[in-house]
């Protein structure tokens, strides 16, 4: 298969983790005789520094010409505490989601057997957790009308949804549930918000089309607690933009590190794959950023194009790296010298020689790749 992939590394640790993901894609292309080509674009704070615009036209153009987009991370601490900044790196990410019509964001939350003791939660509580969060990504309070009064003392953001926006993601979430444990939980705040009541009405209206899916509802405040106490009760969670943002980050506690969570952002025409973590500026260029979220985003990309064996091999490589403790310090208390690049090298080597893991391990551990 031929795939043109737009690569937007972004800021902070984005470039380091994305480099490992590209490495993995190249290894897959070699092993399975695919042709993957890559074209880089600027986005976020680095784009502001170079062009004054967090999402230059050229970047949009590169993405629209590509089959898929691989996204790193954006953000820079220099903007975080400056509420007066008119131009912000995040506008780059929100802009690309909107430009490409990426209305569905899919975030898998899987408790890996080998990492159960990395979570601050109890093992028996989180074991076997496997949740898919369907987060609406181009509507709600993120994109509604904003207002700041002349005197700067009053402000508002609007959460607005229409039937169409809810229906299209709800159908995808129901379909995903059909191929899993057939349970869909709509998370909202329908006891207070009119927009949430619309979500319930629309989801109830289409539910009869999926009679084999058990639909239930949960208020966001209660879901925030249930997710931690009884995560195994969830199969597919469907929710609006901001609730999904918060809930998915909370869910990283179950998995052990936010550096493990991948996502796919899908629209009718385009698709983008991105770790759910941010730019983590403080960790940039230290070799400590966990590349696994970005590498697992590559697995989701491969799945998206029906390259299931390829995706499975990438996931196997990740599993192996976790089993052998070839992981960055956020997960590692066994070895202290495993860098971002070494994790990428190991998974690359695994893809090239899945049978020779022990050799890979020794070489990677000594800091030498088996590739000459």
Residues that bind ligand IPM (CB under 6 A): 75, 90, 93-94, 245, 276, 278
Listing DSSP states for 138-166 in one string gives SSGGGTS-EEE-TTS--EEE-----HHHH
Residue pair 239/136 in contact (Cβ under 8 Å)? The answer is: yes
| CA within 13 Å, CB half, 327 | 23
Q: Binds 99, which of Mg ion, ligand IPM, none (CB < 5 to 8 A, cut-off by type)?
A: none
Report, in Å, the least distance between residue 245 CB and ligand IPM.
4
User: 43 vs 313, which CB is nearer to ligand IPM?
Assistant: 43
184: which residues sit within 8 A by CB, 6+ positions away?
Answer: 173, 174, 177, 210, 213, 214, 215, 216, 235, 236, 237, 238
Of 43 and 347, the one with the shorter C-beta distance to Mg ion is 43
- Taking alpha carbons only, the member of 299, 369, 368 closest to residue 25 is 299
User: SS3 of 120, please?
Assistant: coil
275 binds, among ligand IPM, Mg ion, none (CB under 5 to 8 A by kind): none
Closest approach of ligand IPM to the CB of residue 137, in Å: 7
Dist CA 330 CA 346 (whole Å): 17
Q: Which helix (H) or strand (E) holds 292?
A: helix 292-304
Query: Which of 24, 132 has the CB closer to Mg ion?
Result: 132
Q: How many residues does the chain have?
A: 372
Smallest distance from Mg ion to CB 30, Å: 34
Of 6 and 93, nearer to ligand IPM (C-beta) is 93
> Nearest residue to Mg ion, using CB?
245
Binding partner of 90, given ligand IPM, Mg ion, none, CB within 5-8 angstroms per partner class? ligand IPM
CB of residue 349 to ligand IPM, shortest distance in Å? 30
Question: Minimum distance between the CB of residue 278 and ligand IPM, rounded to whole angstroms?
Answer: 6
What is the C-alpha separation between 331 and 340, in angstroms, rounded? 12
44 binds, among Mg ion, ligand IPM, none (CB under 5 to 8 A by kind): none
DSSP H/E element including 167 = helix 163-178
- Closer residue to Mg ion (CB): 75 or 291: 75
Residue 351 interacting entry, from ligand IPM, Mg ion, none, C-beta within 5 to 8 Å by type: none
Alpha-helical segments (H) within 185-260:
194-206, 220-229, 241-255
- 313's contact among ligand IPM, Mg ion, none, with CB below 5 to 8 A by partner kind, is none
267 binds, among Mg ion, ligand IPM, none (CB under 5 to 8 A by kind): none
Determine the residue with CB nearest ligand IPM. 90
Pairing of strands 68-73, 271-275: parallel
To the nearest whole angstrom, how small is the minimum distance from the Cβ of residue 85 to ligand IPM? 14
Nearer to Mg ion, 36 or 142 (CB): 142
Binding residues vs Mg ion (CB under 5 A): 245
Give 60 or 246: the residue with its C-beta nearer to Mg ion.
246
d(CA 338, CA 334): 10
């Amino acid at each position: 298969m031929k795939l043109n992939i737009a690569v937007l590394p972004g800021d902070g640790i984005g470039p380091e983790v994305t480099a490992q993901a590209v490495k993995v894609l190249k290894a897959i292309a070699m092993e399975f005789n695919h042709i993957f080509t890559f074209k880089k674009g600027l986005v976020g704070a680095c784009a502001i520094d170079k062009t004054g615009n967090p999402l230059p036209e050229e970047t949009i153009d590169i993405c629209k010409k590509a089959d898929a987009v691989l996204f790193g991370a954006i953000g820079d601490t220099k903007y975080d505490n400056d509420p007066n900044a008119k131009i912000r790196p995040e506008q780059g990410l929100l802009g690309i989601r909107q430009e490409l019509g990426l209305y569905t964001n899919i975030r898998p939350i899987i408790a890996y057997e080998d990492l159960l003791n990395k979570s601050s939660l109890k093992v028996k509580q989180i074991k076997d957790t496997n949740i898919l969060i369907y987060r609406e990504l181009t509507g709600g309070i993120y994109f509604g009308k904003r207002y700041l009064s002349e005197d700067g003392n009053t402000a508002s953001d609007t959460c607005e949804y229409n039937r169409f926006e809810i229906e299209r993601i709800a159908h995808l979430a129901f379909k995903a549930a059909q191929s899993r444990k057939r349970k869909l939980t709509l998370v909202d705040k329908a006891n207070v918000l009119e927009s949430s009541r619309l979500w319930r009405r629309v989801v109830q209206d289409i539910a009869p089309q999926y009679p084999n899916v058990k639909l239930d509802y949960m208020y966001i405040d209660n879901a925030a607690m249930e997710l931690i106490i009884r995560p195994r009760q969830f199969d597919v969670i469907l929710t609006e933009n901001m609730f999904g943002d918060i809930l998915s980050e909370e869910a990283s506690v179950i998995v052990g590190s936010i550096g493990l969570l991948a996502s796919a952002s899908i629209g009718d025409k385009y698709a983008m794959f991105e770790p759910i973590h941010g730019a983590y500026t403080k960790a940039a260029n230290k070799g400590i950023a966990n590349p696994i979220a970005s590498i697992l985003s590559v697995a989701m990309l491969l799945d998206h194009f029906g390259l299931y064996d390829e995706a499975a091999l990438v996931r196997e490589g990740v599993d192996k790296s976790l089993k052998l403790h070839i992981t960055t310090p956020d997960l590692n208390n066994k070895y202290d010298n495993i860098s971002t690049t070494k994790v990428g090298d190991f998974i690359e080597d695994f893809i090239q020689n899945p049978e020779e893991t022990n050799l890979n391990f020794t070489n990677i551990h000594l800091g030498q790749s088996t590739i000459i």
